Structure 1
Amino acid sequence: MVVAVDIDEVLGNFVSAINQFVADRYSLCHSVSEYHVYEFAKIWRCSKDEANIRVHEFFDSSYFKTAIHPIPGAQQAIQNLSKVCNMSIVTSRQYAIQDHTVEWIEKHYPGLFQKIYFGNHFALNGKSTPKSEICRSLGAKVLIDDNPNYAIECAEVGIKVLLFDYENSYPWCKSDFVNGHPLITRVQNWEEVELQLSSLILPSNNNIIISQ
């Protein structure tokens, strides 16, 4: 079974790292709990162009290279899942940070993903590709993502989505419009992800993936 996995807030804590950057560079103090939407311009109260500039400054900083850490439980879960699933990354990240993204994945999740696909969303340059289009092209049956908009987009084309809300701490994940969709299931940690995927792979044994 082909499973697509998002990076930011699913494999690594992007928002926490960029909060450190904007606090030091712009004296803007924000916590993850303030991000009721995953749109930096609205949270930082600036234009979209200014937000994009700040994000790309973050990409060029040491914060981007060293302050993003794996989400708890993700490394072991991906090791377990990669033995029974074809795991690929589908991220909205931009081509401009492709090389560093690949380096980060290989450092924290070495050899566990088949391919890494970039949507190039919110980029200063280049064409963007919808996540649903990428997922369909690689034959993904499941997407693990924290963004309700991507969840709906992919569920509407028949892809099952595990909407990742780590320990119920992502405000942007709380959108009501995804509630009740038959192909969207909320999960709050990587153990729940493993349980959901194991039930899809072998419904009669929900513990096949979970390491004891």
Structure 2
Amino acid sequence: MSTKSKPVIAIDVDDVLADSAQGFVEFSNQRWGTHLTVEDYDERWSKMWGVDIEEERRRAHVIYNAKVVKGFKHFEEAIPVLTRLKSHYKLVITTSRSKFVEKETLEWLNTHYAGIFEAIYLSGFYDELKEHSHKQTKAELCQKIGANYLIDDHPKHCFAASEVGVKCLLFGDYSWNRNTSIANNMKKVLNWKEVEKFFDEERKKLQKQGK
């Protein structure tokens, strides 16, 4: 199957490929004396910390300058699954990360997931941190790149993408997605083993349909 004819799977980085929330709260606890756990993590950092937007911006720059993302652990179990999926699908990255950590993100992916992804897209939602930054979704980006599937841990991205025809896998067992009602075109998967099972079943369906 040529790359051109392969369906496209868009894959998030944070808490899908990287153990980001864990790395984030560990840094926060050490740097600012917070007592956060992964269960406390919220992408609305000002709410999580109980600070105003200006303090959130200040802390965000500390995090960017400290290159915290470079130290995030990867999910080892994802590698064999992605390697097998690559034979049947075009795998691309769609992340909400800021351009301020683009270099570190590319280096991290090259270190832990070398040769797997054919393109990497940073949404830029947080390039300029505003009160509404967290409300933006990846639906438009998925449409733009022709994604057939999205694997993401955040409900808002899956809901929005599913509404424009993208099949979405809501990934992981996190406080921010644990009690989410699943919409049409969505499926909850707890781990990479379940991701692989889903795509095995997808290919069987397509084979039966002669596609």
> Which TM class, normalised by the smaller chain length?
0.7 to 0.9
Q: In the alignment, is the contact (CA less than 8 A) between 1:20 and 1:63 conserved in 2?
A: no
Q: In the alignment, is the contact (CA less than 8 A) between 2:9 and 2:148 conserved in 1?
A: yes
Deviations 1:119-139 (A, max 9, x none): 0112237xx884111111111
Deviations 1:75-116 (A, max 9, x none): 221112112110000001111111111111011000100100
Provide the residue aligned with 1:162 in structure 2: 169
Q: Does 1:108 align with 2:115?
A: no
Deviations 1:141-186 (A, max 9, x none): 1100000111111111111110001xx2x1001344xx24121100
SS of 2:55's partner is: helix
Q: Are residues 53 and 201 of structure 1, via their aligned partners in 2, closer, same or farther at CA, if it must alter by over 3 Å? A: farther
Q: Are residues 42 and 75 of structure 1, via their aligned partners in 2, closer, same or farther at CA, if it must alter by over 3 Å? A: same
Q: Does 1:46 align with 2:48?
A: no
Identity %: 29
Aligned length: 197
Provide the residue aligned with 1:152 in structure 2: 159
Provide the residue aligned with 1:23 in structure 2: 29
Provide the residue aligned with 1:84 in structure 2: 88
The unaligned stretches of length 5 or more in structure 1 are 206-212
The unaligned stretches of length 5 or more in structure 2 are 1-6
SS of 2:48's partner is: helix
TM-score (norm 1): 0.85
Greater shift in the superposed pair: 96-105 or 57-66: 57-66
Q: Distance in 2 between matches of 1:103 and 1:180?
A: 34
TM-score (norm 2): 0.86
What is the aligned counterpart of 1:3 among 1, 9, 14? 9
Q: Are residues 26 and 115 of structure 1, via their aligned partners in 2, closer, same or farther at CA, if it must alter by over 3 Å? A: same
Q: Distance in 2 between matches of 1:24 and 1:99?
A: 24
SS of 1:71's partner is: coil
Q: Are residues 23 and 146 of structure 1, via their aligned partners in 2, closer, same or farther at CA, if it must alter by over 3 Å? A: same
Q: How big is the alpha-carbon RMSD for the aligned residues of Structure 1 and Structure 2? A: 2.1
Provide the residue aligned with 2:70 in structure 1: 65
Provide the residue aligned with 2:142 in structure 1: 135
Q: Distance in 1 between matches of 2:13 and 2:137?
A: 15
Name segments (4+ residues, structure 1) moved above 4 Å. Answer: none
Q: Are residues 29 and 180 of structure 1, via their aligned partners in 2, closer, same or farther at CA, if it must alter by over 3 Å? A: closer
Amino acid at match of 1:23: N
